[in-house]
Structure 1
């Protein structure tokens, strides 16, 4: 398909999810950074629960920077890979206790526990200019199913292809829109294809309806 075709085809998807809030219930950029580090390979629902009491005790990076890993076990022992994540957020707190949160992707990914996906989330949710496209596990599943990329498990490879195919004006919203689609409609099994706003152009839908 031509470069401009994808924009026209995918715009209904962006429109459907444009008013959806990010599933992590953060109130400020500090909370967002902590939560995206903790959420890797865990559920957003679990992170929302464990962070409520944590943020009451540690409302900012400065307060977090003077605590220890043992102090945080009571909050995060139910989080997957909690030992590493506790070390990462403590290290991040020591770096950012007297600084503002970076506003560029290359600076964000220098922080421990922050990869491209998390950095793209932070940039989007703090209203910075996009430097990439968010690719999470839902996007990894949905985008190849739709036919935008081949079936890769490598998020960086999928992101690179999306950045090459899609106009910059879509970068900020399309990743989150695909993620919401994967959470709500395009499920791993029994996807609800007929209510998908882009199903008529979907390779998977065409395959199952015209075997």
Structure 2
């Protein structure tokens, strides 16, 4: 059996985490699509917890895209000053707000989202999943980049776009919407950099675990 080929029935093998995490909300504590968009842009190379901590004050001051469109960088910056790369991200958000203007006009397609400053495929996949739109790819965040090769679905790569492409080739389209976030939650909770393998729902099919078990036996 080719470990990295289409002969693997990954939909069945991954069913335990698909079932456990199906529909579970992203850790970013957003209330609507506008807030999700802003928080996804801010969260790049930063923690969800940090973005959650600054968002209440930010959204009290700027409750809509239109309110950001009407401000200037100097006024806006203090509200995101605790975010990594805040200058660049603030400029992106002002540009997005001026381009879209109204919350209802936020594009909810891969091409529409990735045309916006600061939104790559990973961010777009998160927004599409959270807004219930059809999947056009698979979320490949830092947890997925670490965990998917460990399980044995794909070969290891540090490139998120390559990881996503390889996952799209290995997994059936009907699970794209949920599987990225399911693997991400597994990575956040169980399959940490130092994994808690005995607690994992996938240890019976996991390449890493089977390898580790064999090493321990010998």
Question: Under a length normalisation based on structure 2, what TM-score does the superposition of the two structures give?
Answer: 0.93
Distance 1:76 1:30 in 2: 16
Question: Does the Cα contact within 8 Å between 2:197 and 2:203 map onto a contact in 1?
Answer: yes
Does 1:152 find its partner at 2:150? no
Instruction: Tell me by how many angstroms 1:149 deviates.
Output: 1.2
Q: Distance in 2 between matches of 1:72 and 1:47?
A: 15
**What's the counterpart of residue 137 of structure 2?**
132
Q: Which residue in the other structure is 2:59 paired with?
A: 55
Q: Which segments of structure 1 move beyond 3 Å, counting only runs of 4 or more?
A: 1-4
Matched pairs, number:
210
The whole-number CA distance in structure 1 between the counterparts of 2:190 and 2:196 is: 5
> What is the rounded CA distance, in whole Å, between the counterparts of 1:40 and 1:62 in structure 2?
23
Within 5 A, what are the aligned runs for 1:40-79?
40-79=44-83
Report Cα offsets for 1:57-114 as digits up to 9, x if no partner: 1111111101011112221111000010000000000011046111210111010000
Matches within 5 A, 1:165-180: 165-180=170-185
**2:166: which partner in 1?**
161
Q: Which runs of 5+ in 2 are unaligned?
A: none
The match for 1:7 is: 11
Q: Does 1:25 align with 2:29?
A: yes
Cα distance between partner residues in 1 of 2:118 and 2:19: 31
User: Which residue is 1:117 aligned to?
Assistant: 122
Give distance in 2, aligned partners of 1:3 and 1:206. 19
TM-score by length of 1: 0.96
Matched, 1:100 2:113: no
Among 181, 199, 206, the residue aligned to 2:203: 199
Q: Is 1:183 aligned to 2:188, yes or no? A: yes
CA distance in 1, matches of 2:21, 2:129: 14
Of 64-73 and 114-123, more deviation after overlay is shown by: 64-73
The alpha carbon displacement at 1:16 in A equals 1.3
Q: CA RMSD in A?
A: 1.2
